[in-house]
Amino acid sequence: MIVVQSPLKRDFIISLLDGNTIQSVSFKLVKQEGMNMYFEHSGDGETAAKVAKETIKKSEFGPALFFRVTHE
């Protein structure tokens, strides 16, 4: 499971990742608590966190967002 932490644009981040397969990694939103979004993923946790972070950074709001991606 990966955790994406962001105080802003959480709906945007969810729409980027939830139900999508990016670089052979599939993401599914499990729950949302405050500024934390928990995603199940296929494959390795470290790879999934890296792919999620790159995807968010390359999005239209990515350069302006403060966020953190970790894996459990």
In this prediction the pTM is 0.93
Number of domains in the chain: 1
Q: So what's the pLDDT on residue 47?
A: 97
Q: Would you give per-residue pLDDT tens digits along the chain (72 residues)?
A: 999 999 999 999 999 999 999 999 999 999 999 999 999 999 999 999 999 999 999 999 999 999 999 998
Task: Return the pLDDT at 70.
Answer: 98
Contact assessment for residue 1 and residue 41, using Cβ atoms and an 8 Å cutoff: yes
- Sheet of strand 36-41, all strands in order from the earlier edge strand to the far edge: 21-22, 25-33, 36-41, 2-5, 68-71
Residue numbers of the domain that contains 63: 2-71
Q: Quote the CA–CA distance of 66 and 72 in Å, as a whole number.
A: 20
pLDDT for the residue numbered 30: 98
- In this structure, what DSSP letter does residue 8 have? S
